[in-house]
């Protein structure tokens, strides 16, 4: 097993009716900025619950954070915090609102142009240099509620860039699975497939010594397969909703990544498809993931076969046979979850995409991705072209 440090300071508050606990968790004298998205929180009662719990606090609101949050929008919130000297941020929303809030938190006191945080992919580690923040999660998918990473889009240059650091864990996150009941089917489908792929990025590599981590990962995958199609149809079922929410958090809160190699190339390529075509994050993963496993078959075949055997109960065969079947099972699952798995099903303008992605990666010096650093620009081109 590889050496690791496990640090996760987020107080995760999980369950029915927990939004009312906000007032116990934010200091009474805090000057709070509530951040949110396009308004779903007004329709499903989450906003009312949050405001009720913040009764008596000094509260300012900032709405309009878009899916795939934009740098340009977030900088407006940065100005408000500086101007009003606010000292706590409460993100109420999905991954986009939470990621956007992480950027706001890091940018307020940043000495220099905050765009550097993204372009230089700075690691934000100094707690005295960020504005403390917490979250009320409304969309299980990204695990941003319990990790310290974020992905921000710069409108001007159509770049989708990630950053993070140990100072960017939420102080607390309230996860009430009842929020799932108001989610559109499309977003639940996205959440399941995003979490599924998060596990893959940390599990579908090559055989290693971290036996327990493999079992954790397989448990999350099996749970997502068991509940995914059902929760889309029955979002008010608390058993399904709570297991969906917890599986998503567990898929990317750091635990399964400890002591193991990880990949993340599907995400890196997927982010370019979102930047170019505004395809939902999870849907880009369903397009790219299976083709990445096909192109990188030699590197990943043992783990693919293990996944096929343990998660899909594929009966014994050769490693290659089981690995191939595992890829096909995955594609079929993505289809069951409402995904289309070809780029041409989303846009007619796909033909130059591979060259665009390769150029972008080369500009950034990304010449060797993946757990073995063997996903070269040539491989990226092959993966994207196979995804047309």
Contacts of 65 (CB under 8 A, 6+ apart): 35, 36, 37, 73, 74, 77, 93, 96, 97, 100, 101
Residue 45 tokens read as 């009662």
Sole window of 48-56, 82-90, 123-131, 183-191 interacting with ligand NZQ (rule: CB under 6 A) = 183-191
Contact 138, 91 (CB under 8 A): no
CB atoms within 10 A of CB 2: 10
User: Could you list the residues that contact Zn ion (CB under 5 A)?
Assistant: 194
Query: Which of 18, 35, 53, 68 forms a contact with ligand NZQ (CB under 6 A)?
Result: 68
Which positions from 338 through 377 interact with ligand NZQ, judged by CB under 6 A? none
What residue 305 binds from Zn ion, ligand NZQ, none (CB within 5 to 8 A, per partner kind)?
none
Per-residue contact track with ligand NZQ, 274 to 313, x per CB under 6 A?
Answer: -------x--------------------------------
Residue 179, contacted partner among ligand NZQ, Zn ion, none, CB below 5-8 A by kind: ligand NZQ
Residues contacting 312, CB < 8 A, separation 6+: 325, 326, 329
Q: Taking CB under 6 A as the rule, does residue 182 contact ligand NZQ? A: yes
According to CB under 6 A, which one of 10, 18, 49, 96 is a site residue for ligand NZQ?
96
Rg, Å, the chain Cα set: 20
Q: How near is the Cβ of 188 to ligand NZQ at its closest, in Å?
A: 10
Q: Report what 141 binds from Zn ion, ligand NZQ, none; CB cut-off 5-8 Å by kind.
A: ligand NZQ
38 near ligand NZQ, judged by CB under 6 A = yes
DSSP-assigned letter for residue 109: T
Residue 62 — φ and ψ, nearest 5°? -135, 110
- With contacts defined by CB under 6 A, name the span among 72-80, 141-149, 235-243, 315-323 that binds ligand NZQ: 141-149
Contact between 100 and ligand NZQ (CB under 6 A)?
no
> Which lies closer to ligand NZQ via its Cβ, residue 100 or residue 290?
100
What is the distance between the alpha carbons of residues 362 and 368, in angstroms, rounded to a whole number? 10
CA dist., res. 375 & res. 284, Å (int): 18
190 binds ligand NZQ (CB under 6 A): yes
From the CB of 202, what's the least distance to Zn ion, in Å? 11
DSSP 257-314: GTTS----HHHHHHHHHHHHH---HHHHHHHHHHHHHHHTHHHHHHHHHHHHHHHH-P
Judged by the rule CB under 6 A, the positions of this chain that interact with ligand NZQ are 37-41, 44, 67-68, 93-97, 99, 138-139, 141-144, 147, 149-151, 179, 182-183, 187, 190, 194, 252, 267, 281
């Amino acid at each position: 097993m590889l050496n690791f440090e496990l640090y996760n300071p987020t107080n995760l508050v999980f369950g029915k009716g927990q939004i009312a606990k906000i007032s116990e968790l934010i200091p009474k004298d805090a000057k709070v900025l509530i951040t949110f998205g396009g308004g779903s929180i007004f329709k499903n009662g989450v906003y009312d619950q949050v405001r009720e719990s913040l009764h008596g606090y000094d509260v300012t609101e900032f709405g309009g954070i878009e899916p795939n949050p934009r740098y340009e929008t977030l900088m407006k919130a940065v100005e408000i915090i500086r101007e009003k000297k606010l000292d706590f941020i409460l993100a109420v929303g999905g991954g986009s609102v939470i990621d956007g809030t992480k950027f706001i938190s890091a940018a307020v006191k940043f000495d220099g142009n905050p765009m550097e945080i993204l372009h230089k992919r700075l690691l934000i580690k100094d707690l005295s240099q960020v504005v403390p923040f917490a979250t009320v999660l409304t969309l299980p998918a990204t695990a941003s509620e319990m990790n310290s990473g974020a992905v921000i889009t710069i409108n001007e240059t159509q770049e989708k860039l990630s950053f993070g650091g140990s100072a960017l864990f939420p102080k607390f996150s309230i996860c009430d699975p009842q929020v799932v009941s108001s989610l559109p089917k499309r977003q639940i489908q996205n959440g399941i497939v995003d979490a599924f792929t998060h596990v893959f990025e940390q599990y579908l590599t090559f055989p290693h010594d971290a036996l327990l981590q493999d079992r954790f990962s397989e448990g999350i995958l099996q749970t997502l397969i068991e509940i995914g199609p059902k929760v889309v149809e029955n979002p008010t079922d608390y058993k399904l909703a709570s297991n969906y929410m917890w599986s998503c958090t567990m898929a990317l809160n750091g635990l399964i990544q400890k002591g193991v190699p990880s990949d993340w190339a599907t995400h890196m390529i997927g982010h370019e498809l979102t930047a170019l075509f505004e395809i939902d994050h999870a849907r880009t993963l369903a397009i790219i993931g299976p083709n990445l496993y096909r192109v990188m078959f030699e590197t990943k075949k043992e783990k693919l076969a293990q996944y096929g055997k343990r998660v899909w109960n594929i009966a014994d065969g050769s490693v290659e046979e089981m690995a191939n079947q595992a890829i096909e099972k995955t594609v079929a699952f993505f289809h069951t979850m409402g995904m289309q798995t070809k780029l041409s099903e989303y846009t007619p303008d796909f033909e130059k995409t591979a060259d665009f992605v390769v150029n972008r990666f080369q500009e950034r010096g990304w010449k060797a991705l993946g757990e073995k650093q063997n996903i070269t620009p040539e491989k990226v081109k092959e993966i994207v072209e196979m995804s047309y």
